[in-house]
Amino acid sequence: MPKSIQPIRSVKGTRDLLPPETGLWQRVEDEARSVFAVYNFREIRTPVLEPTALFARGVGEETDIVTKEMYTFADRDHESLTLRPEATAGVVRAAIEHSLYNLGGIQRLFYIGPMFRRDRPQKGRYRQFYQIGAEALGSEHPLVDVEVLEMLTVFLSRVGLENVTLLLNSVGCHLCRPEYLRILRRALEPIRFQLCADCQRRADTNPLRVLDCKVPEDQALIDQLPTILEHLGPECRQHFDRVTAELTDRGIPFTIMPRLVRGLDYYTRTAFEMTSGSLGAQNALLGGGRYDGLSETIGGPPIPGFGFAIGEDRLLMAVEEAGKLPNPESIDVYVAWMDDRAFIPARDLARSLRAGDLSVEMNYEPAKLKKMLGAANRLRARFAVIIGESELASSNFQVKDMSSGEQHPVEPDRVAAFVREKRSSPVQS
RNA sequence: GUGAGCGUAGCUCAGCUUGGUAGAGCGCCAGACUGUGGAUCUGGACGUCGCGGGUUCGAAUCCCGUCGCUCACCCCA
Nucleotide nearest to A279 (CA to C1'): B77
Say if strands A165-170 and A255-256 run parallel, antiparallel, or are unpaired.
parallel
Give the pLDDT mean for A160-188.
Answer: 91
Give the contacts of A325 (CB within 8 A, at least 6 positions apart): A24, A27, A28, A159, A160, A319
Nucleotide nearest to A382 (CA to C1'): B37
Taking the CA of residue A367 and the C1' sugar atom of nucleotide B29, their distance in angstroms comes to: 14
Range in A27-41, A163-177, A189-203, A345-359 with the lowest mean pLDDT:
A189-203
Confidence of residue A2 (pLDDT cuts 50, 70, 90): very low
Residue A262's alpha-carbon distances to A52, A407, A428, in angstroms, are: 21, 60, 48
Q: Is 60 exceeded by the pLDDT of residue A145?
A: yes
Looking at per-residue pLDDT, the higher value among A204 and A384 belongs to A384
Nucleotide nearest to A315 (CA to C1'): B77
Q: Name the helix (H) or strand (E) containing A32.
A: helix A21-38
Q: Return the pLDDT at A426.
A: 55
- The pLDDT > 90 percentage for chain A reads 74
Q: Return the pLDDT at A144.
A: 98
Taking the CA of residue A14 and the C1' sugar atom of nucleotide B10, their distance in angstroms comes to: 22
Q: Is 90 exceeded by the pLDDT of residue A324?
A: no
Confidence of residue A398 (pLDDT cuts 50, 70, 90): very high
Q: Return the pLDDT at A199.
A: 81
Range in A13-22, A123-132, A192-201, A250-259 with the lowest mean pLDDT:
A192-201
Strand B nucleotides in reach of protein CB atoms, 7 A cut-off = 1-3, 28-31, 33-38, 48, 68-77
Q: Return the pLDDT at A416.
A: 96
Taking the CA of residue A124 and the C1' sugar atom of nucleotide B12, their distance in angstroms comes to: 22
Q: Is 50 exceeded by the pLDDT of residue A428?
A: no
Question: Measuring CA to CA, which residue among A68, A70, A308, A87 is closest to residue A205?
Answer: A68
Three-state secondary structure call for residue A414 = helix
> What is the phi/psi pair of residue A90, to 5°?
-65, -40
Confidence of residue A200 (pLDDT cuts 50, 70, 90): confident
Confidence of residue A221 (pLDDT cuts 50, 70, 90): confident
CA A373 from chain center: how many Å?
38
Q: How many CA atoms lie within 13 A of A42 on its CB side?
A: 2
Q: Return the pLDDT at A278.
A: 67
Cis peptide before A142 (omega within 30 of 0): no
Q: Return the pLDDT at A425.
A: 63
What residues pair up with A288 in beta bridges, in sequence order? A272, A308
Q: Return the pLDDT at A1.
A: 31
The average confidence (pLDDT) of chain A is 91
Alpha-carbon span A168 to A142, nearest angstrom? 13
ipTM: 0.88
Are residues A286 and A311 in contact, defined by beta-carbon separation less than 8 angstroms? Answer: yes
Question: Measuring CA to CA, which residue among A31, A59, A49 is closest to residue A315?
Answer: A31
Residue A18's alpha-carbon distances to A21, A22, A23, A128, in angstroms, are: 6, 6, 9, 15
Q: Return the pLDDT at A8.
A: 84
- The pLDDT > 70 percentage for chain A reads 97
Taking the CA of residue A151 and the C1' sugar atom of nucleotide B49, their distance in angstroms comes to: 52
Give the contacts of A142 (CB within 8 A, at least 6 positions apart): A239, A240, A242, A243, A246, A270
Alpha-carbon span A360 to A112, nearest angstrom? 30
> What is the phi/psi pair of residue A230, to 5°?
-75, -10
